[in-house]
Structure 1
Amino acid sequence: MSGIRLTERWITLKDDEVSSSLVKDLLCPVQDDLWVAAACADRVLDDIDAQRALIDLGLERTSSAVSRIEVAIHKPRSGCENLTSYFKENLTDARLCRIRSILLKRRDRLRTFGEIMENMGTHRFSETGPGIAADIEEEAWDDPWGDDNPEAGPSSTVEKPAIPPIPLSVFLTEDISLLCLSLASQAQFAALEVLTIRHSSEVFPIRFELISRFPLFIDPSKYRDFLPALDIQSGKELQSQGTPWRAEPDLVESDDVERALSRTDGLPEESDIADFNIQQVFCKKSELFSAEELVSWYKARVEDIVSSTGMVDMALSLVQHGVSQGILGLDELGEDLTLLARLTYDASGRDDEPSEPISRAEWTNLEPREVVRLYLAQSTPETVVNDIRRLVLPYLFVLESRCERAGKPDPGLVRRLLYDWILSTELGMIVPIFEASKPTHLASQRLISDDEDLARLALACLYGSNSVDDWTNMSRIFECLPAWSFGPDEDQEDEADTTITSLNSFLAPTTSRPQVSPANLLVFFKPLPAESLSRALDILDVHLESGEILARWGVGVPLRWFLQSAHNEVQQRAWAMKMARQIDAPIGDLDSEDIWLSLLEDMLKLARPEETDTYSAFGALSGDTIRQIFFRGLLSTGRFAIAKHLIQPRHGGRLLDPHTVDDICLDCSREFYDNASSGNYNHGDMKLAYDCLSVAPQTYRIQKEREFIEATSRISSFNVTSRSGVPMLPIEIRLTKDKLSLISRVLSSNETAYRHVEVLLELVRKLGYQSDGLAEVKTLAMVADTALQAEDFLRAFEVSDRMIKAVLRLRQNAPLGADSEPVREAVEVCWVACYQLGRQSEARDVDRKMSLLGRALELCPADKIVDILASWRKLEAEQIEQRREQTSLRHSRNGDTIKRTGRVRDRTSNLSSRLQNIHMPSPALPSASALASHTFSRVAAAFPFGMHGRSDEERSRSRERSPDVQSQARHALRKGVGWLLGADEDEL
């Protein structure tokens, strides 16, 4: 094949079709060295063998030019000037030199690429593709959905050559800096190591930029050979020496040849390597770093790793490598990272772990107390002691050491920070700490080695706790405390008692400090010596026992309550009442007497009545007071049968004396009564109030209260209301000052209530008016008035007669007779009621009306006779007229008119003689109507009687038909005076 055809075939050949044999077959026969060298430099292939063949052939064809240049150099003229002239005269050799320079660099790159591939070796790949990881291949081996053949192994895995991190064509033509940075971002450390060794002059200036491209999550130990080190002798960065492929450069790479070529016109620019200013893109550091700059670089790299990834272990590995390379000033940074690594990994899994990693700057800004809290945030009671020993104490010792190095020693730092955490933690977490600090352990094994500190911390934690039911942990803490053996020392006991007393007021909540913390309490216990602490622990023992008892009965309190209520009878009494009333029996049934006896026993144990100086829960209460409170609680829960049985005399005496039982039963019954929503004593609280009275002996007071409850129930049955549509509550009935007004409410709320006179009188007696004649008279007066309003005149007359008899009986039995105030008031009520009924024109029984008016005349004061007499005279005239009509009718029938008329005159004559004996007061008196209204309003009209019977319009018409009451009174007065003077009736 001719040279032309070979060149044409080469030109049309694609890069991926080029092979080493084709290079030999197509290029070697061509005689034109320049064309062959240019063809070899023109193609950049991904096939290593083909590319090597091209480079070798190209260098072979340029070697003749090198020989000619050597001859030119040795001519007498200066090397550069001679070469420049030579290249101008021999442009072909100049071009061959330029091509040779390119091929030499390309050969070095090719060798580097080959070494990289050798270092990478071969690895296994799945048939699914080279990107599948080995762990996925292992999972595929166990995939139950895979091949049905159970004996099939990982036969799909085949051996394949290593895939180059960068294609050969790119590797040969790209800038070394860009290649290194690309490999760094891929973490191709083996390839980078080859590049660093073989091309050190080009890689060294970008060494820090190269490291910055390494992924931050990769362990620095994997790229430790790239990390800077310190030369101790020079105090600067240590520069490693590379091993380039050629110890001496080729002739065409000499400075003289390069200058001569640059001066030769007609040569194409060397465009094989990407042309850009690497200095403008990346920061090149050709000079060596000082020791301070190296420390700064390491710190910056550590901060990037921690802040970006949170992988403190990687940052710590970096620092450890720096220290091993002689970098000074990283000790404190290493300490911080070691402590931060323990927080990140050994104390990981915290619920409050921040979403962002903690940077070193954030770590250094954390307060020591906050660091201790973070270390133990996820600790459990089972792990807290070990966590303190392996996490907290090393951190605290580091802080203590730093203070010493800074010239400010703080020997109490470890204890102070550890104690602060203990004081701010719940009881369940600190119990193991106290158990690990028992005085029985060796001092070196104890977390808290000082016995006095142990006691002070326990007192502060227990009295500062809000727990009301964690007595098990409190007791476990108490069991870990030291037991000192001191003799009696009044001064030390007084000091402890003074501290307890001062805490009483200090623990009282205020607006600025609603609750006292354990840290605040520790201030009070710090000054106490061991003797006083021993006394305080004795008091604590009493309080723990008391707290357990209260919690057992469902009325638990925080331990500080015992300090607040010490010697405070009011607070202790209130809690004892709560204990007796809100009983929550631990076992059994509340209706069991044994449960209540156990409660009484525990309450007396809390009071300790046999001791004179005690700090127990109810130490300010006597035994008798406790028994009274217990009995009240028993009644308040409605266990009346048990209460009645317990007050019976026993071998050990009575629970309470009868009078006290009487008082308590009355108080509890009234409490039930006042809380009742219904007056019916067969249901609810009213039934409890009624049944409660059956516990005590039926004394007069008890019986009286029972009757009052019965009266309340009766009043409620009449549907008495306090306001429109709202039934009257029992508490309103009790608070009514004048209980007779309740009778008025009954009469006004029920139209037929007045018919049940005996029921109403019995109600009055049960309301507290037993043997009260005045109350009976007033009640009868109200009933008579109600009957009158209902126009039930027959019942009104009957009740009035009964009222008159009651008044006469009251006058007769009164010690002072008519001069006593109750008698006078009863008489006044009676005559007014008689007068009101006697003057009613609607009532037709004239005889009864005259009898009532006669009683009114008999009982009324002298200044009221005229008005009453007017009504009596009017009624008398009506009676006489009726009798005349009856006499005329009878005379026409049987001729007895004369006899009947004589009897009437005799009767009138007798009445006239009776009136002559009456002392007549001054005639200037008010009308009878005004008199009755004024008097009855003053005595009985305070009760809101119900108005029944005729309407107001009918009563108005009745009054219009009646003669003027004032004129009747004047007429009666004149007539009465005329009788006294002996005047004739017709003249009057």
Structure 2
Amino acid sequence: MIKSRSAAPSATQPRTMTSADGWTSRSDSELTVDNVHTSLDSIKDDLWVAAACVDRILDDATVQRVSSTEATTEASLRRDALISHFNHLPADALILDRLDRLNTFVEMCEVSPEDVEDTESAPDAWEDDPWAESAQPETREAVEPPVALSVFLTDDLVRSAFLLASRQWFGALGIMFARHATHLWPYRIAVLDSIPEHAHPLSYRDFLPAVDTTTNLEKRSTSDPWRTSPDWSETLDVQAALAASGFTPDISLPSGDLHLDSRDDPLSSDELADWYKRRIQRIISSTGLIDIALAVVQHAAPQSVPGLDEMGEELSLLARLVYDAPQGEDDSDDDWTLDRWYSMDPIAVVRAYLAHSTPETLAKDIWRLVMPYLFVLESRAERSGNPDPTIRARMLYEYILNVPLETAAAIFEASKPILPTAQRIVQNDEDMARLALACLYGSSSLDEWPTMNRIFECLPAWDITRDDDQEDAADTTVVSLGAFVTPSTTRPRVPAPLRWFLQSNSDVSEQRSWANRMARRAGGSEDKLNTLDDWEWLLEDMLKLSGTGDSGLRGAFGLLSPDEVLQIFLSGLLSTGKALEDICLTCSRELYDNASSGNYTFGEMKLAYECLDVPPPSDRLLREKEFIEATSRLSSFNVMSGPGIAISPIEIRLTKDRLSLVSRVLSSNNDAYKHTEVILDLVHKLGLRNNVVAEVKTLAMLADTALQVEDFLRAYETSERMVETVLALRSSYMDVDSPEIQEASEVCWVACFQLGRQPEFEDVEKKLSLLGRALELCPPEKLHDVLVAWRRLENEDVEAREDRLSHRRDGKPGPRKAAPNAATSLRSRLQDFHMPSPPLLNTPDAAALASRTFRSVAANFPFSVASRGRSQASHPEPERSRSGSRRRDGDEISTQATRVFSKGIGWLIGADDE
């Protein structure tokens, strides 16, 4: 509620002070219809009543109406008197205008913001809805406008109109324009501009300006003022009197702070078209709502506004791009405006329509998006007087020529000649053939052969007859296509094998250049040929391309002779690394396998060796050269494959166990075992380099051979080297139980055991050392076997010492002195095996237990005690050794072994030495 502006008028004092006091003492909220009549009816001063009513501005429309009516009644009674007293007319004029506004406000309250939109039925509404007749009309409570009555009565009408337009109260705004058209008409454009850009024009279509086709000017809106004839206060006489008094209260005019341009005369059609265009531009730039802008154009068309047809076409096409075209996952760059749309050329628009289409949806998108756009371009060209019937095909063909093969294949599949013409995207067969071949031969792809095959399958089939008097049609087609895909400033050159076939059809230098490129890049590219089979296939293909096909057309290298193709191929082959290596290896092995002699200083073997010097050195070439050298060395040892037949190179290559070749060398050459380094080098070159097990086996064979010829010192030295090799191998491996270590250890301890128990070998110290190594390397189940030999050797050493001591006492030279501390050395090594003396062996039955243990071990003893290491049964021994000692027979050996082993077990369990 707005409070009273003054307590009481000062012009004239009321005749009845009691009623006046009741009027002024009440606040605005306390005023009712009854107390208004009670307070004002008894007052006889008409001027005071009118002034008092003007002073009161209420938010209650009913009370405000009663107050204004009282003031109007009093004013009509004093009409003649007031004309002569015009100084009192401003209050009457304000009361009259306030009453009009009050009536307008009451009518506005009866209209909701949705009334305009409700005038059209919803799209989904049924015209023959069976429930509509029985449905009760919806009761809707009146909603007050977004402006209070007190403000509406005192503020300027234009400001209130702005507020209603910005709040989209178009029903109330329409009532204001109808009731107060005289005051609002000059500011109609400003009021329309205050409507939010996102508002749909359907809701304010009645306010959109229209053109009167008879005058080509803006139509004036219809008005329905509250009074059809002017009030007496609005007559010319009263207005002149007010002007003469210097007071012109026009409260309907806007205040100066709005700074609005008024236009009372109608706008021209061009000015209205400009306003519509500015409105559309503002909608798109501020909201991006293309559909709202298009709706404005569509609603402007019935208003006869000129110059919007082309904009409507553009907005319709742009709306298809924004709302109908497939969208990508990231649309951050799709900020579409009319300026951006106008700046795009037609082919860019076509690409934008299909930017996110898939091969599955491409044909459908072309029909529903691209074709309408191209039809608009064609019709627009006709309207401009420059018809261009090829624009559709030209734009579509340009798009096809610049898309990936997968996309082009989808278009060609939708243009197959078997389809009805109206359903084909590319409807001309010749154009389709040119487009397809241009896409295929112009593509830079080298791995889309299935897609290319799909395109070829879409091509139309023609029956081409060959005319002997004319150039072959196929050759003509190739030549023309070759000219079509020749690189230019607008078509950059990219690597394209199919394109090259056309360009080089009659250019021998181009064919020669490509043949060299093919041969050399085959070994230098990422996809280089790795095997000889690959190179053989390449040679076959190059020779095939140099010939003529079944159709009579020359191949890609048809201008090159087969000899030139071979020369180019070999040049490329020799320029590569690995392929050249493979070829040289193959040639070398072929010569090796056919060589009659293993000597590599002449014949096929020499050629095989020299072939390996052609390519750059590598590990494979080095191994092959060493194998040839090993073969030549085996031949120098006169290794035979049969009686009187020297072993051939092919037999050496086919031998699976290369160490057997070394064994044959040692068995056929008496002094070969003396050349340890030569034999080991032979093993390495036979392909067993860095094979420690093979090296250990070779040393074992050398030691065994030296043992057979009783060269014990050399056998011992070789055995020591073998032991060092095995120990180094065991220390380098984390896993002692690995197969390699087990195999090498097995070979080593057996060889040491064989040499250490030979009675002919008189160096007891070295024999004890060998047996100690055997104990260190043998498996646990063989410990007892080695201990038997050790104990026997130890007893013999003790007896020899006693003999030497006895001879010294008699003054006679004694036998050779035995090695000191041998028993101590053995005990220290046995302790490494963690063999404590069990308490059971200290009992009186210890001797019986030792005998049973020996018998159980001797039953499975794998070695002959009197045998030498190389052959335990096949080589008979002489009756006496070189020392002259007599051999024991089998019974004596067994008895002695039992005694020695029992004695050794007694020593092992802690018995005192005798």
Q: CA deviation at 1:166?
A: 1.2
Q: How does 1:188-587 map to 2 (within 5 A)?
A: 188-264=169-245, 270=249, 276-277=255-256, 281-347=259-325, 349=327, 357-489=335-467, 497=475, 500=478, 515-516=492-493, 558-563=497-502, 568-576=511-519, 578-579=521-522
2:109 aligned with 1:117, yes or no?
yes
AA aligned opposite 2:493: V
In 2: Cα distance, 1:304 partner to 1:491 partner: 71
| Other structure's SS at 1:673 match | coil
Give CA deviations for 1:471-530 in whole Å, capped at 9, x if unaligned.
2221111111111111123677557547756987997879x789338xxxxxxxxxxxxx
Is the CA contact (8 Å cut-off) linking 1:672 and 1:688 kept in structure 2? no
Q: CA deviation at 1:259?
A: 2.0
AA aligned opposite 2:231: D
AA aligned opposite 1:87: H
Give CA deviations for 1:208-262 in whole Å, capped at 9, x if unaligned.
2222222222222221111122222223222232111122222222221222244
Q: CA deviation at 1:325?
A: 2.0
In 1: Cα distance, 2:627 partner to 2:227 partner: 119
In 2: Cα distance, 1:21 partner to 1:121 partner: 34
In 2: Cα distance, 1:436 partner to 1:2 partner: 100
Residues 450 and 691 (structure 1 numbering): CA distance in 2 closer, same or farther, change over 3 Å? Answer: farther
Q: TM-score, normalised by structure 2?
A: 0.55
Matching residue of 2:66: 53
Q: CA deviation at 1:363?
A: 3.1
In 1: Cα distance, 2:402 partner to 2:607 partner: 47
Of 61, 67, 78, which aligns to 1:65?
78
Is the CA contact (8 Å cut-off) linking 1:634 and 1:643 kept in structure 2? no
Is the CA contact (8 Å cut-off) linking 1:309 and 1:357 kept in structure 2? no
Residues 516 and 275 (structure 1 numbering): CA distance in 2 closer, same or farther, change over 3 Å? Answer: closer
Residues 662 and 244 (structure 1 numbering): CA distance in 2 closer, same or farther, change over 3 Å? Answer: farther
Is the CA contact (8 Å cut-off) linking 2:145 and 2:169 kept in structure 1? no
Give CA deviations for 1:836-882 in whole Å, capped at 9, x if unaligned.
xxxxxxxxxxxxxxxxxxxxxxxxxxxxxxxxxxxxxxxxxxxxxxx
Q: CA deviation at 1:455?
A: 1.0
Identical-residue share of aligned pairs (%): 39
Is the CA contact (8 Å cut-off) linking 2:442 and 2:496 kept in structure 1? no
| Other structure's SS at 2:159 match | helix
Matching residue of 1:732: none
Residues 237 and 325 (structure 1 numbering): CA distance in 2 closer, same or farther, change over 3 Å? Answer: same
Of 79, 86, 93, which aligns to 1:101?
93
Q: CA deviation at 1:53?
A: 2.7
Q: CA deviation at 1:435?
A: 1.0
| Other structure's SS at 2:433 match | helix
Is the CA contact (8 Å cut-off) linking 1:434 and 1:477 kept in structure 2? yes
Q: CA deviation at 1:358?
A: 4.2
Q: CA deviation at 1:111?
A: 1.2
Matching residue of 1:553: none
Give CA deviations for 1:315-364 in whole Å, capped at 9, x if unaligned.
22222222212233332222222222222322363579685854444433
Is the CA contact (8 Å cut-off) linking 1:220 and 1:317 kept in structure 2? yes
In 2: Cα distance, 1:692 partner to 1:456 partner: 63
2:634 aligned with 1:636, yes or no?
no
Q: CA deviation at 1:630?
A: 11
Give CA deviations for 1:440-479 in whole Å, capped at 9, x if unaligned.
1122211111111111111211111121212222111111
Q: CA deviation at 1:433?
A: 1.1
Could you tell which deviates more after superposition, 369-378 or 484-493?
484-493
Q: How does 1:912-931 map to 2 (within 5 A)?
A: none
Matching residue of 2:85: 87
Residues 573 and 307 (structure 1 numbering): CA distance in 2 closer, same or farther, change over 3 Å? Answer: same
In 1: Cα distance, 2:28 partner to 2:543 partner: 107
Alignment root-mean-square deviation, CA: 4.9
Give CA deviations for 1:123-176 in whole Å, capped at 9, x if unaligned.
9xxxxxxxxxxxxxxxxxxxxxxxxxxxxxxxxxx9975242211111111212
In 1: Cα distance, 2:223 partner to 2:479 partner: 83
In 1: Cα distance, 2:149 partner to 2:629 partner: 110
Is the CA contact (8 Å cut-off) linking 2:93 and 2:233 kept in structure 1? yes
Query: How many residues are aligned here?
Result: 581
Any unmatched runs of 5+ in structure 1? 70-82, 89-93, 124-157, 518-555, 649-660, 677-682, 695-755, 763-988
| Other structure's SS at 1:119 match | coil
Matching residue of 2:53: 40
Residues 231 and 646 (structure 1 numbering): CA distance in 2 closer, same or farther, change over 3 Å? Answer: farther
Q: CA deviation at 1:263?
A: 3.2
AA aligned opposite 2:301: V
Is the CA contact (8 Å cut-off) linking 1:439 and 1:482 kept in structure 2? yes
Q: How does 1:499-898 map to 2 (within 5 A)?
A: 500=478, 515-516=492-493, 558-563=497-502, 568-576=511-519, 578-579=521-522, 622=562, 625=566, 636=579, 669=612, 672-673=615-616, 676=618, 683=619, 686-687=622-623
Is the CA contact (8 Å cut-off) linking 2:23 and 2:39 kept in structure 1? yes
Matching residue of 2:852: none
Residues 435 and 642 (structure 1 numbering): CA distance in 2 closer, same or farther, change over 3 Å? Answer: farther
| Other structure's SS at 1:233 match | coil
AA aligned opposite 2:225: P
In 2: Cα distance, 1:313 partner to 1:606 partner: 61
Is the CA contact (8 Å cut-off) linking 2:441 and 2:496 kept in structure 1? no
Residues 19 and 482 (structure 1 numbering): CA distance in 2 closer, same or farther, change over 3 Å? Answer: same
Residues 285 and 558 (structure 1 numbering): CA distance in 2 closer, same or farther, change over 3 Å? Answer: farther
Give CA deviations for 1:818-843 in whole Å, capped at 9, x if unaligned.
xxxxxxxxxxxxxxxxxxxxxxxxxx
Q: CA deviation at 1:434?
A: 0.8
AA aligned opposite 1:37: A
Q: How does 1:938-953 map to 2 (within 5 A)?
A: none
Is the CA contact (8 Å cut-off) linking 1:673 and 1:686 kept in structure 2? no
In 2: Cα distance, 1:513 partner to 1:414 partner: 21
Q: TM-score, normalised by structure 1?
A: 0.51
AA aligned opposite 1:118: E
Residues 516 and 687 (structure 1 numbering): CA distance in 2 closer, same or farther, change over 3 Å? Answer: same
Q: CA deviation at 1:601?
A: 7.6
Residues 262 and 687 (structure 1 numbering): CA distance in 2 closer, same or farther, change over 3 Å? Answer: same
In 2: Cα distance, 1:621 partner to 1:691 partner: 41
AA aligned opposite 1:455: A
| Other structure's SS at 1:249 match | coil
Residues 417 and 481 (structure 1 numbering): CA distance in 2 closer, same or farther, change over 3 Å? Answer: same
Is the CA contact (8 Å cut-off) linking 2:290 and 2:319 kept in structure 1? yes
AA aligned opposite 1:112: T
Give CA deviations for 1:570-610 in whole Å, capped at 9, x if unaligned.
52354256557879799xxx99x999998888777667687
Q: CA deviation at 1:439?
A: 1.2
